[in-house]
Amino acid sequence: MAVHGESDVEVSVPISGSLTEWGHSLQARVYFADTDFSGVVYHARYLEFLERGRSDYLRLAGIHHAELDDGKMGKRLAWVVRRMEIDFRAPARIDDILTVETWTARISGVRIFMAQKILRNDVELIRAQVEAAVIDERGRPQRFPAEWIESFKPSDRSG
């Protein structure tokens, strides 16, 4: 018997999700702390779910925030979000199992444009477009290292 919010999604995936042929997929459960007084996920918490998806996509592609900060690429680097657009389509509720999908839409100069969506089973709850960049310790934009381009090949995934 399913309790409100529970889904039929299998939850036996690695903690960082998994790389897919089009990008990255991560599952996350909605906890009480993610909800507002009405029992649905508070709008700002979706930003955290999206951030986890992008961070784990980077991690599984071999790019670790701590290593960038340690200067592994020859100087200290950091990822920053420059712009984000979010469409809220349907609410998530406590105990829901969400799937955060992340893929590269395109890379242009010093920017990467990622597309993301959050689903509950097959229901699309959130769709987001994220423009991110890599900066040095002085805040100056840096070109993507050539070895990263292959890891973030753009996908024409639209669905």
Question: Which helix (H) or strand (E) segment is 146 a member of?
Answer: helix 146-149
Closest among 10, 12, 17, 93 to 50, alpha carbons compared:
17
Over residues 81-139, the pLDDT tens digits come to: 999 999 999 999 999 999 999 999 998 888 999 999 999 999 999 999 999 999 999 99
What percent of the chain is predicted at pLDDT more than 90?
Answer: 67
Active-site pick, 34, 36, 56, 156:
36
The rounded mean pLDDT for the chain is: 88
Count: domains in the chain: 1
Q: What CATH number has the domain bearing residue 73?
A: 3.10.129.10
Inside any domain, residue 4:
no
Inside any domain, residue 6:
no
* Entry pTM: 0.87
Question: Tokens 């657009």 correspond to what residue?
Answer: 85
The Cα 18–Cα 97 span in angstroms is 16
Inside any domain, residue 33:
yes
Give the residue numbers spanning the domain of 92: 18-152
Inside any domain, residue 124:
yes
Inside any domain, residue 32:
yes
Compute the CA torsion angle 44, 45, 47, 51 (nearest 10 deg). 150
- What are the helix (H) ranges across 11-145? 45-60, 65-69
Inside any domain, residue 51:
yes
13 CB contacts (<8 Å, ≥6 apart)?
A: 25, 26, 27
Inside any domain, residue 116:
yes
Q: Is 136 a catalytic residue?
A: no
Q: Could you tell me if residue 84 is left (phi over 0), alpha (psi between -120 and 50 degrees) or otherwise beta?
A: beta
Question: Which helix (H) or strand (E) segment is 148 a member of?
Answer: helix 146-149
